[in-house]
Amino acid sequence: CYSSLLSIVCYSSLLSIYVSGPVEEENPEFWRAQGCDLFLCAIPPKVWALPPSQHARILKGQMHNQSGEETVMTMDTFPHAGLLKTYSVDFQIPDSSSTATAYLCGVKTNLNTVGVNAAARNGICKTQKGNEVTSILKWAKDAGKSVGIVTTTRASRKWYSDADMPASAKKEGCTDISQNPSVDPIRVIVIHELCFSMTQRDGRHLISDWQKMKVGKVARYVWNRTDFDAVDPDTTDYLMALFEPGDLRFDVERDPTMDPSIAETTEKAIHQCLWVTSSVSFPVCVSGGRIDQGHHASRASMALHETVAFDNAVAKGLELTNEEETLTLVTADHSHAFTFNGYPFRGQSILGKSPLYGKDMLPYTTLMYGNGPGYKVVDNKRPDIRNVDTQSKDYVQLSAVPLDTETHGGEDVAVLARGPMAHLFHGVQEQSYLAHAMAYAGCVGRDLRHCESRPQHTNTQRILVTTTDDDRNSAPSQVSSISLVTALLAAVLH
């Protein structure tokens, strides 16, 4: 979520051949017009249940000594659901930067680029100028609302500081990604990476810069559990919490005396925004990014336990907010090459082996990957895993194609919604539709006609929108917050 706030291009290695999409898709207005046209015509659908993650659902139940299949996750209780098409402008299967730009900025873009439209080119910094786009978090800030960000991962995988940047990128005007929290007035930042505080080659210390910019405000920076728990939202204007040298540890390996859980950081972020804004609406973005990293490593146990922890964060968010005033969304930005197969018995461990053997008379796990580091064929023979503990947190699932890291998948991902205007999230839509629907529901961004036509209470700053009841002419409902809960890079919702 955090990366989508930035108006920079985040690069990985350059592609040897550039593949371009249709020219009209390089114009951000193409996606904006499409999104607005769709949600203005939205009709409240009947309740449609879409399973967010049958694998994690079974694991969650089995963690409580149940069979697992019948378990109801918090995400399962969301009454409205839709599907989002995740392709980028130039590739069928996207990366996380292009999808974040789509669902937070409302504009689809090219692979390996973030915060810019598709006219910008991966690896060519000078093409970002004039092609920057902004996110719904920026729109919310412009409307005077607080913004909170929580993630279990580092803020970026490239260009932590100017020391990581090639000379050509600096010459063309690009900046490192870590500078942005020091210039963006984000109310709560929980990024879980101490690397962010490093001193840059230009002599800047970004944590110090962030604190100096909050003159006249109480801005707290914490790096450990004790100081984090001691933060009083009632006396704190801004909070930045960075716990680990890189990503937060996987939840099953986390030391609870040192690092809080994603549910606990979500609670702190919501309390912080509620206390400092009173009745003003706010978006809080919560990212379970370690789900993605578990999948990339083909460690299904880690990925699914992270998903369960994320579902607990969703539950905490619902507990702390009023559903009549809060729109809560759960989504993923893409899927993974992850499969559930083999006719396992009811109640069998989701991390176990299929009761059926292959034609080579060897067992296989019910969870596997299409590609990744789990390829273990030697001399045309699969490994014999009869005596292998596949339920271990460190077990690497088998995969069909050898790769150092498993790739994303190209399936549509689900968006689950509850609260005011949840009916907008329905059917099969472009992923860029999501930002426009959120903006419409929260009365931020470009189209405020439906908000301006309704009077506000004289003693609050809550924004009025129409109710989600089937009767679209019923009385308006107050929305005091938008809680965007998103499992970034997760394969849990495809």
Binding site members for Zn(2+)? 292, 296, 333-334, 408
Question: Please, are residues 22 and 30 in contact by the beta-carbon 8 Å criterion?
Answer: no
Question: Please, are residues 19 and 128 in contact by the beta-carbon 8 Å criterion?
Answer: no
Q: Which residues contact 368 (CB under 8 A, 6 or more apart)?
A: 338, 339, 341, 374, 397, 398, 399, 400
Q: How far apart are the C-alpha atoms of 146 and 347, rounded to whole Å?
A: 45
Question: Please, are residues 444 and 245 in contact by the beta-carbon 8 Å criterion?
Answer: no
Catalytic residue, chosen from 96, 156, 281, 483, is: 96
One-letter identity of residue 138: K
| Block residue for tokens 């969650």 | 60
Residue 430 dihedral angles phi and psi, to the nearest 5°: -65, 150
Q: How far apart are the C-alpha atoms of 458 and 478, rounded to whole Å?
A: 13
Q: Which residues contact 359 (CB under 8 A, 6 or more apart)?
A: none
Q: Which residues contact 17 (CB under 8 A, 6 or more apart)?
A: none
- Known binding residues are 292, 296, 333-334, 408
Q: How far is CA 120 from CA 111, 127, 165, 175, 365, in A?
A: 10, 5, 18, 15, 43
Q: How far apart are the C-alpha atoms of 368 and 399, rounded to whole Å?
A: 6
Q: CA geometry: angle at 62 spanning 61 and 63, to 5°? A: 90
* Residue 4 a catalytic site member: no
- Give catalytic residue positions: 96
